Amino acid sequence: MKMEKVFKILGFAGSLRRASYNKALLRAAYELAPEGIELEIFDLEGIPPFNQDLEQHQPERVKEFKAKLREADAILIATPEYNYSIPGVLKNAIDCASRPYGDNVFAQKPVAIMGASPGMIGTARAQYHLRQCFVFLGCFALNQPEVMVSFAQEKFDKDGRVTDQKTRELIRQLLESLVAWTRRLASPR
Ligand SMILES: Cc1cc2nc3c(=O)[nH]c(=O)nc-3n(C[C@H](O)[C@H](O)[C@H](O)COP(=O)(O)O)c2cc1C
């Protein structure tokens, strides 16, 4: 009997907040992942501010983050929007994992994005800034579906569960598209 290899996704949110909507999106993705997809969620807590003087001696938490990114088949980022861009916590983690020069673990990795905000634009501006970073990182961004969850307070319950069915369906589609995108990159027609 041929056993299908488990497809590994590493997910992380650009928020350290305990009741983060974006962490909640990742938990929903974990729940909604189709069979054969394993989503591991990494918390960015403990990743110190990047200092290029120390990049040859990276902290253990950064090494751990990089190792998990390296072994993942694909990456899923849930980003909040801060001041029309991505939060510093997220940018810092990305900077840490892309260094030192020649050891950028994002290179050639398939990546998908989602994001939630109480505002009406649902992190669109932050997501397009994040896509700009992907250009230099050399990762392969999934274009669609775009998961931009606006008015988040109406779509999650008090325990941080996504209750909005359209959002749940979009997250499920995002996971399926990320797997299809990764397989297509591995064996292009
Ligand atoms: C410093 C800061 C800047 C923010 N800027 C924006 C913004 O530009 N657009 C937006 O929709 N929400 C903005 N917000 C509100 C966040 O979307 C909201 O706090 C959200 O819950 C953060 O994501 P999280 O729940 O995953 O922590 C901002 C919040 C903070 C703390």
**pLDDT per residue of the chain (189 residues) written in tens, 0 to 9:** 556 789 999 999 999 999 999 999 999 999 999 999 999 999 999 999 999 999 999 999 999 999 999 999 999 999 999 999 999 999 999 999 999 999 999 999 999 999 999 999 999 999 999 999 999 999 999 999 999 999 999 999 999 999 999 999 999 999 999 999 999 999 977
Task: Report the nearest-CA residue for atom 31 of ligand 1.
Answer: 82
Task: Report the nearest-CA residue for atom 4 of ligand 1.
Answer: 82
Distance (Å) from CA 126 to ligand 1 centroid: 10
Convert the pLDDT of each residue in 58-111 to its tens digit.
999 999 999 999 999 999 999 999 999 999 999 999 999 999 999 999 999 999
Distance (Å) from CA 60 to ligand 1 centroid: 29
Distance from chain centroid for Cα 46: 17
Distance (Å) from CA 117 to ligand 1 centroid: 6
Place of tokens 């569960």: 161
Task: Report the nearest-CA residue for atom 29 of ligand 1.
Answer: 82
- Can you give the pLDDT at residue 188? 79
Pocket test for ligand 1, best of 82, 91, 148 (most atoms within 8 A of CB): 82
* Closest approach atom of ligand 1 to CA 85: 8
Alpha-carbon separation of residue 92 from 45, 70, 86 (angstroms):
11, 18, 10
Alpha-carbon separation of residue 179 from 34, 76, 175 (angstroms):
10, 11, 6
Task: Report the nearest-CA residue for atom 18 of ligand 1.
Answer: 117
Pocket test for ligand 1, best of 27, 81, 89 (most atoms within 8 A of CB): 81
Distance (Å) from CA 81 to ligand 1 centroid: 5
The rounded distance, in Å, linking the Cα atoms of 9 and 171 is 14
Pairing label, strands 74-78, 37-42: unpaired
Contact 129, 115 (CB under 8 A): no
Contact 79, 113 (CB under 8 A): yes
